[in-house]
């Protein structure tokens, strides 16, 4: 019987044999053991430590010979040994990074984990398409190791047309074939293509299963009368109106993401044509969306997600609702529509705290859209397309509204769709799967400048502040570390070293932001800054001007351009500052991975160099927070280095 439940396949006996063959060199001397061959034995053993008997078994030699050879490696200082109760001695490498100067990939197929030492950008970019970055290790440049785990949701969302292409990408970065892992990946791929929603000729929605067993054993267990109205055949069922979102979520939770092939509404026509030429990858995004009718454009700032979204609006050709996180972004969307399309200005409506206009293309904030009293925003028009900008911002009320709008085309935009709470299932079940997740391809093609990211560990230079940190605890300790006075000096140093670059300095706390702004003679933008003042400061920052002219002195006059802004969380995302070339994250390292990626992403632009410096107080929890925030960038193919600032 075909296994439609998707249980893991049994262990592949040929894999162990292949491992033994790969690790054994019958022509080698029993008395000789290189560090490289010891590492091969560990890889074959799928453990970070091994006994002499285990090494002997993997290398096809005697236990005595292996013990003598390991002892020689220990005497040279290449490995360490440890006495344990279960076995007299275990051995492990002293310095994993010193095993080789080249990249090394170690696979633990049973756990579906991949460890990469000194990974190349190509490997990181490939792995980001089908694996989840769990952790990184190491503090010195060039010695970091990356731990990836291949999860079922990563396989489901992988941007490949078929299982063979996905397995091909897997093989392209692994040292050899792992049949058990490949079979598991293929099984998960099959899971993602076992249920389908489609529109019946009579207009109602049908859930189709790949087999009678699936419909009987899976659908019947996870769906009830609220979801399905009546059976149509052994593999098909009539879906209740309004139950599409609930069916998607229930089956996703059961391990079966649903393919959505329904005929979606396009709404009343809207007069709009694109006037900007799309890049090749943007055209691919739009074509993929039109084929799927839903999805999330994933790409770094500067990759042209908004222009691609405007092209999608024109291609769908129906009335559109655009949801954004802030009024600033709403205004930017209006400007982008007018710049890149033929839309009549009168056909664009803004719906937020300042104005409430519903037009063929309406741009609204998530805050307004989530309020019950503005429900007409969703109900008054026959929207053909709902566009969720910065999709990870969607609030619970908007999620519930989205569940009611499954009949529409749904487009999400995000550089980082995975939030700290790992809510991929919310985004992908209610909006759609990722489209265009390969940042590295954009870097290599020159469409987006790859940023140079550096974590700089700043020492305490103020004894009073260090004593205050030692006496504090919890959130207060985090705040003291964030406001380390030595950071001001470090910011001055970095700005002076890059006087020709427009710079953003990000902070967490208002007092800290005001202190840094005063020290730099630069404006500070926070949530308390009036909207009109914020808009004017951003305008001046975007204006052309000679960078470096106002650094370290008095704040520039109102009619001058700005080259330094100190920004609180309000500037983390949704603000288009295309000439920002330098970002300094001074505090706020307790935030999410998404926040760290957004701040780094402010410098990702089509031309010019891009620099990101993350300041973390040495010896504090900021070290871990900094590494966690940058981890997601590493997963996307961005190089991250680390530096200890001198005392």
DSSP one-letter string for 338-380: HHHB---GGGEEEESSS-B---SEEEEEHHHHT-GGGTHHHHS
Look up residue 624 and give its DSSP letter.
H
What does residue 295 show for φ and ψ, rounded to 5 degrees? Answer: 155, 175
Mean pLDDT of the 42-58 span: 77
Structure tokens at 609: 């160099």
Tens of pLDDT, residue by residue over 120-152, are 767 877 887 888 877 776 545 445 678 889 999
Residue bearing the bigger pLDDT, 369 or 256: 256
530 CB contacts (<8 Å, ≥6 apart)? none
Residue 503 β-bridge partners:
564, 582
Tens of pLDDT, residue by residue over 298-324, are 877 777 899 999 999 999 999 999 999
User: Exposed, middle or buried by CB within 10 Å (0-12, 13-18, 19+), for 233?
Assistant: exposed
In this predicted structure, the answer to whether residue 448 has a pLDDT above a threshold of 70 is no
In this predicted structure, the answer to whether residue 86 has a pLDDT above a threshold of 70 is no
**Confidence bin at 207 (pLDDT 50/70/90):** very high
All structural domains of the chain, each given as residue ranges with its CATH number in brackets, are 14-94 (1.10.10.10), 104-173 (no CATH), 193-256 (no CATH), 280-440 (3.40.50.300), 449-644 (3.40.50.300)
Mean pLDDT of the 178-184 span: 94
Tens of pLDDT, residue by residue over 509-556, are 888 999 999 999 999 988 788 878 888 888 888 876 555 545 544 444
> What is the C-alpha to C-alpha distance for residues 425 and 433, in angstroms, rounded to an integer?
9
Mean pLDDT of the 72-97 span: 68
Instruction: State the chain's mean pLDDT as an integer.
Output: 79
Rg of the chain, C-alpha, whole Å: 28
> What is the C-alpha to C-alpha distance for residues 418 and 384, in angstroms, rounded to an integer?
26
252-266, 409-423, 482-496: which has the minimum mean pLDDT?
Answer: 409-423
**Confidence bin at 603 (pLDDT 50/70/90):** very low
Tens of pLDDT, residue by residue over 499-515, are 888 898 988 888 899 99
pLDDT at 437: 59
Mean pLDDT of the 402-412 span: 84
The residue whose two tokens read 């503005």 is 374
pLDDT at 407: 80
pLDDT at 232: 95
Helices (H), 433-530: 439-445, 463-471, 474-482, 486-497, 510-520
**Confidence bin at 594 (pLDDT 50/70/90):** very low
Asked whether the beta carbons of 368 and 374 are under 8 A apart, the reply is yes
52-56, 62-66, 215-219, 435-439: which has the minimum mean pLDDT?
Answer: 435-439
The residue whose two tokens read 């900007």 is 276
Residue 322 β-bridge partners:
363, 387
In this predicted structure, the answer to whether residue 188 has a pLDDT above a threshold of 70 is yes
Nearest to 103 by CA among 38, 174, 35: 174
Residue bearing the bigger pLDDT, 17 or 336: 336
Residue bearing the bigger pLDDT, 222 or 377: 222
Nearest to 478 by CA among 465, 486, 469: 469
Nearest to 312 by CA among 345, 280, 273, 281: 273
In this predicted structure, the answer to whether residue 201 has a pLDDT above a threshold of 80 is yes
Nearest to 352 by CA among 372, 325, 390: 325
User: Exposed, middle or buried by CB within 10 Å (0-12, 13-18, 19+), for 9?
Assistant: middle
Q: What pTM, to 2 d.p., does this model score?
A: 0.62
Structure tokens at 612: 């990101």
**Confidence bin at 438 (pLDDT 50/70/90):** low
């Amino acid at each position: 019987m075909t296994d439609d439940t998707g249980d893991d396949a049994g262990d592949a006996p040929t894999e162990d044999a292949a491992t033994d063959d790969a690790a054994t060199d019958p022509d080698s001397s029993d008395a000789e053991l290189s560090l490289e061959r010891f590492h091969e034995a560990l890889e074959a053993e799928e453990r970070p430590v091994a006994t002499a008997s285990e090494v002997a078994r993997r290398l096809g030699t005697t236990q005595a010979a292996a013990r003598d050879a390991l002892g020689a490696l220990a005497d040279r200082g290449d490995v360490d040994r440890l006495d344990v109760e279960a076995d007299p001695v275990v051995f492990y490498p002293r310095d994993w990074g010193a095993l080789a100067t080249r990249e090394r990939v170690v696979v633990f197929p049973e756990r579906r984990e991949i460890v990469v030492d000194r990974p190349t950008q190509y490997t990181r970019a490939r792995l980001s398409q089908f694996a989840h970055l769990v952790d990184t290790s190491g503090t010195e440049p060039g010695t970091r190791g990356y731990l990836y785990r291949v999860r079922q949701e990563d396989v489901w969302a992988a941007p490949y047309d078929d299982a063979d292409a996905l397995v091909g990408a897997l093989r392209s970065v692994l040292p050899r074939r792992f049949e058990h892992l490949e079979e598991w990946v293929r099984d998960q791929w099959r899971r993602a293509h076992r249920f389908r929603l489609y529109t019946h000729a009579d207009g109602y929605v049908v859930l189709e299963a790949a087999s009678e067993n699936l419909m009987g054993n899976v659908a019947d267990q996870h769906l009830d009368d609220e979801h399905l109205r009546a059976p149509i055949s052994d593999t098909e069922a009539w879906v209740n109106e309004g139950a599409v979102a609930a069916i998607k979520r229930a089956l996703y939770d059961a391990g079966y993401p649903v393919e959505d092939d329904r005929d979606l509404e396009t709404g009343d026509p809207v007069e709009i044509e694109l006037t900007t030429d799309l890049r090749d990858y943007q055209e691919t995004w739009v074509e993929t969306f039109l084929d799927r009718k839903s999805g999330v454009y994933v790409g770094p700032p500067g990759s042209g997600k908004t222009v691609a979204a405007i092209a999608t609006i024109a291609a769908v050709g129906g009335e559109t609702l655009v949801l954004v996180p802030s009024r600033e972004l709403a205004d930017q969307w209006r400007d982008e529509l007018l710049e890149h399309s033929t839309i009549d200005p009168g056909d664009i409506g803004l719906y937020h705290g300042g104005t409430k206009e519903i037009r063929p293309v309406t741009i609204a904030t998530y805050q307004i859209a989530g309020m019950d009293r503005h429900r007409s925003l969703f109900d008054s028009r026959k929207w053909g397309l709902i566009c969720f900008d910065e999709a990870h911002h969607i609030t619970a009320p908007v999620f519930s509204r989205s569940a009611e709008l499954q009949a529409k085309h749904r487009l999400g935009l995000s550089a980082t769709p995975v939030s700290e709470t790992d809510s991929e299932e919310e985004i992908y079940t209610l909006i759609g799967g990722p489209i265009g997740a390969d940042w590295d391809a954009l870097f290599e093609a020159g469409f987006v400048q790859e940023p140079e990211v550096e974590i700089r560990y700043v020492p305490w230079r103020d004894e009073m502040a260090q004593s205050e940190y030692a006496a504090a605890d919890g959130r207060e300790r985090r705040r003291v570390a964030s406001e380390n006075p030595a950071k001001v000096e470090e910011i001055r140093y970095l700005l002076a070293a890059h006087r020709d670059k427009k710079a953003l300095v990000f902070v967490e706390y208002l007092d800290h932001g005001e202190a840094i702004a005063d020290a730099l003679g630069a404006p500070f933008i926070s949530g308390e800054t009036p909207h009109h003042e914020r808009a004017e400061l951003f305008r001046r920052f975007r204006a052309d001007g000679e960078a470096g002219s106002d650094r370290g002195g008095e704040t520039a006059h109102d009619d001058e351009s700005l080259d330094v802004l100190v920004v609180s969380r309000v500037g983390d995302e949704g603000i288009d500052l295309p000439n920002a070339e330098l970002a300094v994250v001074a505090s706020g390292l307790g935030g999410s991975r998404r926040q760290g990626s957004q701040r780094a992403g402010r410098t990702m632009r089509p031309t010019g160099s891009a620099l990101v410096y993350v300041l973390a107080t040495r010896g504090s929890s900021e070290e871990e927070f900094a590494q966690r925030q940058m981890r997601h960038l590493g997963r996307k193919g961005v190089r991250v280095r680390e530096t200890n600032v001198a005392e």
